[in-house]
Structure 1
């Protein structure tokens, strides 16, 4: 394996090992020795890539922070109605959090003191803003029931998604993040979407709603 590829593989192994250790024991409860042991990297290799455990944690925060704008833009470019985009976008985000330990750990660290001064820490506000805009457009297109307030619904959905992320990851046995997110959407859509949208929207079959 060429030297550059070996270095990239080592860096990736360290990042994944750190994510797994932080998930198991938390950032403060994870010594550097545990990351080295799990990754198989030497201390010298670690310090070649990262100046400290904190620098590694910052990397995890930034990795997850870069992913969400790309995910949102991909969904916003799709030729779907705004309510379908909101559902599909949140569904994919939930599944990704459930299945990708690096993104999951980075998201948790964004709420830790490590991530408070980073741009990625603002991701929560960005999610709520995007959901608000999509639900306002849904109302304009006549996809929401009369009297539904798009801003309030966006806040409720965002709070529910944050709760799903915490409960789905921390409570076992029980449904994971993706399944709990699907349950949230099942309940919310019955209350906010028009009967016509619920009846005719074939897109729902492509996401993981019960």
Structure 2
């Protein structure tokens, strides 16, 4: 008996909106790489056509000017950050663990082409807002909140002021980022050494003992914390 013919089915079609979003994100990633390397004034809008951008028409469909690309890069960086702190809190057992995981996310974001390009634009003052100081304050303010929570939870030493601790962490990170050349692997190790020496100075002895007993140096890096792949956002808790 002949088997019944299986009706042919059309291959799934990617919705137009999804295709458009993917193209726009590819444009931003290409622009981020170019701006990070060459600066805004050293990059022509047509320079992006050789970086995986499908057509000149697609480029001009999404962006009317080079400055519009710059504004979109900074906007994408800003919007993606808003999703990171809540994900960090969900993965953390307490405010101090969240502080470490938040810093991990900042390190990983430096590898994102959109973040790198937006950072160069902020340093060169290409867009009016936000400023580099304002962007730095997002992380500092979030760190202060996490440390204030840790203080409420009884995890900080009495002399450890949350605002001072947060400022020292941000400053310490900035210095290590400069020394490492913002290389993700090198910066990760430098911050691990920082945590090893700094956390016992500000955390209670009981918390520090419990932290030292956990495999915190082998923790997984976050995924999808940058604007280029924010749809895959995943923050891993420190293992026990």
| TM-score, reference length from structure 1 | 0.81
Equivalent-residue separation in structure 1 for 2:91 and 2:182 (angstroms): 33
Aligned with residue 144 of structure 1, among 141, 156, 163 = 156
- 8 Å contact from structure 1 (residues 62, 120) kept in 2: no
Aligned to 2:147: 135
Tell me if 1:178 matches 2:191: no
Aligned to 1:20: 33
Deviation at 1:73, TM superposition (A): 1.2
Aligned with residue 11 of structure 1, among 13, 21, 24 = 24
From the CA coordinates, give the structure whose radius of gyration is larger.
Answer: 2
SS in 2 for 1:124: helix
C-alpha RMSD of matched pairs (Å): 2.9
Aligned with residue 94 of structure 1, among 88, 91, 107 = 107
Aligned to 1:62: 75
SS in 2 for 1:27: coil
- 8 Å contact from structure 1 (residues 36, 43) kept in 2: yes
- 8 Å contact from structure 1 (residues 94, 181) kept in 2: no
| TM-score, reference length from structure 2 | 0.72
Deviation at 1:117, TM superposition (A): 1.9
Deviation at 1:83, TM superposition (A): 0.8
Gaps of 5+ in 2: 1-12, 222-237
Q: Which of the pair is proportionally richer in helix?
A: 1
Gaps of 5+ in 1: none
What does the per-residue CA deviation read over 1:155-209, in whole Å, with 9 as the maximum and x for residues that have no partner?
A: 11122233444443457xx953333333332332132222321221237353569
Equivalent-residue separation in structure 2 for 1:144 and 1:103 (angstroms): 32
Change (3 A) 1:193 1:203: farther
- 8 Å contact from structure 1 (residues 109, 115) kept in 2: yes
